[in-house]
Every structure is written in structure tokens, then in C-alpha cells.
Amino acid sequence: IRNFHTQWLLLTHLDSVTKDSSVYPAFDASLRPLWKQEIQQFIEHVVLEGDGSLQTLLTADYSFMNEQLASFYGEDVLDGVSGAEFQRVQLDSTRRAGLLSSAGLLATHANLNQSSPVFRGKFVRDQLMCDTLPLPPNDLVIETPELDHSKTTKQQFEEIGANPACAGCHSLMNPIGFIFEHYDGIGQWRDQQNGKPIDATGEVVQTDDINGVYDGAVELAHALAESAQVHECVASQWFRFAYNRTVTP
């Protein structure tokens, strides 16, 4: 179960995630094993002790943390937590819901010094919807934009998505990634960036059953949890993992 979810959630690099300390002073290497334990303990609780449902994995309003990790999450954790032992905690359900809002997953699918609408949007498309995205043009030079302290990350990536050479693929990824913009590159909640309010709205298109505009990852998580396309995709992910073969008719 740990192995499957590590592969499915693309968390193989979680142990080596690093961030620019000048941008994220709250980050240090001691957080990595805590992020990992939170995800593992939450998954194993849902699968082995709870109802075992995908809906709970995606929308639960609780997680497992110790004092250090709860302090990192700050106001998002509603319970008082003390000590080094992990315990079940209640989350602010307006800010956090299930796996997709866990700091470890959000930090893994982000850049060194900024969040990444591209990585996060691609993750949802690939791993939760089983979409096959087109490859970028062979002659396209792919570079992460330099930090622009006069703009939000969303504003910068909207400009990239407007490039005709990029729009075909990025129109499928970036708007989904924008829905996660309340979480910075280490997964902490933010209401503002560079003095500008966060706009966490994004439109999901070209899906079987959840096309529409969503405001924030909690709203999106609940839609994903009810999507037949997502349920079929995750079942296919389990099939490939368990049988070590592709899905065929």
C-alpha cells in the first residue's frame, strides 16, 4: 500500500525535496520525514482502518501530525497538538481536504522557489484523470520563469499559457494548477503573494464529467472525488500496479 501510493502520487523524490531558504525560511530538511509520515499514516488509516474509499482519501477533513508539523501548518490545524508522537488532528475544511492539500505532495509538485501550476496541473491530469498530454514541440526551450516580485505566480504562468506554441498543452494543465495557488511552494497557506490577493480560480476542461470553474483545491477535491473518470483512472492505476501490465479491453 505504501509502495503503490508513493508511485501513484509521484512521491519518490519527497525524501530529497529542497527549497530556496531565502524564499521559504520556514523550510528545513527536518520537515521532509514529517511530510512523508503524515501522508503514509493518513493513507494507511483510511485504507486499513477507515472506509477505504477514494472519496475519503481526497476529501477527509483530518490528518495525522505531531507538534512540529502542526506548527508548520499553523491555523489550518484546529486541534492543539503537543509532543513528538503523531496523532489525528482536525483540519480547517475550508482550506484543506485529503491528500491533495498535504504539504508533502504540494511541495514535491512545486519548484525550488515558487509554486508550479504546471506540475500540479499535470499531476491531476496524469495521475487522477489518466489523460495523455501532448508532448511539447521539439524546438521549444522549457525554462521556469524567473521570480517576478511585481506579479503573482498565476499572473506569470497565465502569460506563458498565452503563448500559441504552449497553449495547446498548458490550457489543460495550468488552469487546474491555478486552483492550488493558495498553497505556496512548501504547501503553506497564503492569502496574498507579493502584496496581491491570491486568485485560486481555474477552469477544468476536456474531462468526462467535471468541466467547470472551481475556486480553490477543496472545491476541486470534492468534484474529483465524485468523478467517474477519476474513479476509473485510480482503478486502472491499481490494476497496473498489482498485475504489472497495461490495461486492455
Stretch 68-76: mean pLDDT:
98
Stretch 115-136: mean pLDDT:
92
- Pairwise pLDDT comparison (248 vs 94), residue with the higher score: 94
Share of the chain above pLDDT 70, in %: 92
pLDDT at residue 158 tops 80: yes
- pTM to 2 decimals? 0.92
The C-alpha atoms of residue 146 and residue 29 are separated, in whole angstroms, by 24
Question: What does 96-165 look like in DSSP terms, one character per residue?
Answer: --SGGG-HHHHHHTB-SSSB-HHHHHHHIIIIIT---PPPPPTTPPP-PPPP-TTS-HHHHHHHHHTSHH
Which pLDDT belongs to residue 139? 64
pLDDT at residue 1 tops 90: yes
Which positions ≥6 away from 39 have C-beta within 8 Å? 5, 9, 11, 99, 102, 104, 105
Please, what is the average pLDDT of the chain?
93
User: By mean pLDDT, which of 34-48, 160-174, 196-210 is the weakest?
Assistant: 160-174
Which pLDDT belongs to residue 224? 98
pLDDT at residue 83 tops 90: yes
The C-alpha atoms of residue 194 and residue 227 are separated, in whole angstroms, by 35
Angle between helices 153-161 and 164-178 (to 10 degrees): 150
Stretch 173-199: mean pLDDT:
97
Which positions ≥6 away from 78 have C-beta within 8 Å? 89, 90, 91, 92
Neighbouring C-beta atoms of residue 111, cutoff 10 Å: 17
Which pLDDT belongs to residue 163? 67
The sign of the dihedral angle between the CA atoms of 139, 145, 151, 156 is positive
The C-alpha atoms of residue 105 and residue 161 are separated, in whole angstroms, by 24
User: By mean pLDDT, which of 86-90, 158-162, 215-219 is the weakest?
Assistant: 158-162
pLDDT at residue 140 tops 90: no
pLDDT bracket for residue 162 (50, 70, 90): low
Give the tens place of pLDDT for each residue, 50-70.
Answer: 999 999 999 999 999 999 999
